[in-house]
Amino acid sequence: MPKGCVIVTEFMVSPAATLFALDLWDVSEPVPGDLALPGPGRSAIGAGGAVLRVGPKCWWLNGAAFATTNIAAAQGVVTAIGGGWVRVCLVGDWRDLVMQSGLIDAEDPAFGPGSVAVTPLCHAPCVLHVRSQTACEVFVAASYAGHCLAHWRDIGWKQGDDA
């Protein structure tokens, strides 16, 4: 294998159909359904899916169970955004691949399971969700997904059996 090649043992690309944005303009009121809202750069995993903190008053709800989440109009809004995003699940040595794609220190010990980062990768808007030490979900804006996948292949990314 040429020096500098990155091996990701497995990757899966799928639509992010069950992705919703929760924007709250009043965070002082309790959120219905006992929804746990994680702090900056963090996620919370529950029976219904994952809640990712992606902005000061914005969370992504990742899971079909969140489709029925209702927020009072005075408090905020829940919007289906899955059609605009593609989910790429990286399993294996994903940290080097991510660092070669953007300006992020994915080897920082604090960037472990439950971490969330909103950052450009391959010049495309992306959200990273660290699921475990060897698995990371990357949400890529749908219009940039082909570009990101092509770039990752160009820098040596191989899929499962190709490794």
Strand partners, 91: 10, 135
Per-residue pLDDT tens, the chain, 163 aa: give them.
445 555 555 667 888 999 999 999 877 777 766 678 999 999 999 888 999 999 999 999 999 888 888 777 778 899 999 999 999 988 888 898 899 999 899 999 999 999 999 999 999 999 999 999 999 999 999 999 999 988 888 877 655 444 4
Q: Which domains does the chain have, with CATH numbers?
A: 10-15+84-162 (3.30.1360.120), 19-80 (no CATH)
Angle at 17 between CA 55 and CA 32, to 5 degrees: 55
Q: What is the pTM of this model?
A: 0.87
